[in-house]
A = this chain, B = another copy of it.
Amino acid sequence: MNKIEQLQSYLNEMEIDAAFITNPDNVFYLSGFKSDPHERLLGVMVFKDAAPFLICPQMEIPDAQNAGWSGDIIGHVDTENAMEVLHRTASAKSDSIRTLAIEKSHMTVDRYEALNEFFGNPSFFALDDKVNAMRVIKDEAELEILREAAALADYAIEVAAKNLREGITEIELMTEIELALKKRGVTHMSFDTTVLAGSKAASPHGKTGDRKLQSGDLVLFDLGVVHKGYCSDITRTLALGEPSEEQKEVYEIVRRAEEAALNAVKPGVTAAELDKTARDVIEKAGYGEYFTHRLGHGLGISVHEFPSLHGSNNMVMEAGMVFTLEPGVYVPGKVGVRIEDDVAVTETGVEVLTKFPKELQIIHHS
């Protein structure tokens, strides 16, 4: 059953007449067409008992076709009321739409009011949880793309290690990394690339800046790429010159915490249990107060998606889920270390998508 069919089956089960999906990430998930329409209307309409259609700005129709959407595509131009076009098209497909599923965490009030007007005050149903539940399990095609995205993140850290030297600034390092990725065809990063040197890595508010690297710095890299519509997200902390005993100790604690969480990943374990596994290691070492964030987050079309790996999420892990494991210890003004992998739950355990070594890399370039 493909994704559209899964959604149709759900609409039938719930006795919902139609679903109108407008979150661009969800439109991409269902249609293969990725587009940022800004204020213009883009969406997929799925019916319980009719063929779906895609609605988009007229000029984007060729892109939508090229993206592989084989259903009907309805264009609209700026001089039309796009909601009127939507209603007219939907009414021709289905006699009566009395219940309509929408993404309540994405749809804006003005569009909601327009739907109310054109569809005659239908009953609205929140589709967010269902789409999240679909997206949380990756199929083999998605996993293959996520592997490729993770390999590009590994490569970025290799470039970072190669360029780590005294005197280079955080921004210059960031630029070297992104330049190398562009040469491999990467056009977008998952988020602003972070390079934090020395005590800056210990601040939750640290921003990549003009700080020059010095021997004795631990340097934290947090970055990811968007590849075929999917995101990677890696963190590694590298040492420039010989680290202090304290730096080595903190690094080793974080590395063991990450490893413990990684070894605990399998179908049946909960998000909270994974978080606790890593947190226990850090707490036992006496650094619990310095691990100030959740263990990780789901990864896919969005760089932050379901599941969220925190201490009060009892969601059970299943094969096909992909998420980050990223414990960190931040001793203010002194030392900051985070290690982050992207992992997929398999039938029997875990597949680690990011492969750059996690033993502390000590770089001696000057």
| Cα–Cα, bound, A112→B105 (Å) | 10
* Chain A 27-58 interface 0/1 with B at a Cβ cutoff of 8 Å (1 = within): 00000000000110000000000000000000
Contact assessment for B105 and A107 in the assembled complex, using a CB-CB cutoff below 8 Å? no
Instruction: State whether A108 and B110 are in contact (beta carbons under 8 Å apart), knowing that A63-B205, A182-B171, A204-B59 are contacts in the complex.
Output: no
| Cα–Cα, bound, A188→B191 (Å) | 11
Give the residues from 109 to 138 in chain A that come closer than 8 angstroms, CB to CB, to chain B.
109-110, 112-113, 124, 126, 128
Instruction: State whether A107 and B104 are in contact (beta carbons under 8 Å apart), knowing that A38-B304, A171-B182, A205-B62 are contacts in the complex.
Output: no
Contact assessment for A105 and B205 in the assembled complex, using a CB-CB cutoff below 8 Å? no
Most buried by B among A113, A124, A312: A113
Least distance between A209 CB and chain B CB atoms (Å): 9
Contact assessment for B105 and A39 in the assembled complex, using a CB-CB cutoff below 8 Å? yes
Find chain B residues with CB under 8 A from A63 CB: 205
A67 CB–B CB distance under 8 Å: no
Which residue on B lies nearest to A176, using beta carbons?
B179
Least distance between A264 CB and chain B CB atoms (Å): 23
- Copy number in the complex reads 2
A244 CB–B CB distance under 8 Å: no
A102 CB–B CB distance under 8 Å: yes
Least distance between A349 CB and chain B CB atoms (Å): 30
Contact assessment for A113 and B104 in the assembled complex, using a CB-CB cutoff below 8 Å? yes
A70 CB–B CB distance under 8 Å: no
| Cα–Cα, bound, A59→B179 (Å) | 33
Instruction: State whether A126 and B104 are in contact (beta carbons under 8 Å apart), knowing that A38-B304, A62-B205, A182-B171 are contacts in the complex.
Output: no
A3 CB–B CB distance under 8 Å: no
Which residue on B lies nearest to A179, using beta carbons?
B175
| Cα–Cα, bound, A253→B192 (Å) | 40
A106 CB–B CB distance under 8 Å: yes
| Cα–Cα, bound, A124→B112 (Å) | 14
| Cα–Cα, bound, A107→B113 (Å) | 12
Contact assessment for B108 and A105 in the assembled complex, using a CB-CB cutoff below 8 Å? yes
Find chain B residues with CB under 8 A from A174 CB: 182
Find chain B residues with CB under 8 A from A208 CB: 187
| Cα–Cα, bound, A109→B38 (Å) | 18
Give the residues from 196 to 250 in chain A that come closer than 8 angstroms, CB to CB, to chain B.
204-205, 208
| Cα–Cα, bound, A153→B105 (Å) | 36
| Cα–Cα, bound, A112→B116 (Å) | 15
| Cα–Cα, bound, A179→B175 (Å) | 7
| Cα–Cα, bound, A335→B107 (Å) | 40
Q: What 3 A-B pairs are tightest by C-beta distance, nearest first?
A: A104-B110, A104-B109, A105-B110
Would you list 16 pairs from A and B whose C-beta atoms are within 8 A, ordered by A residue? A38-B304, A59-B204, A62-B205, A102-B109, A104-B109, A104-B110, A105-B110, A106-B108, A108-B108, A108-B109, A109-B124, A171-B183, A175-B179, A175-B182, A179-B179, A187-B208
Beyond contacts A104-B109, A105-B108, A188-B192: 7 other A-B pairs, Cβ-Cβ < 8 A, are: A38-B304, A107-B109, A108-B108, A108-B109, A109-B109, A109-B112, A109-B124
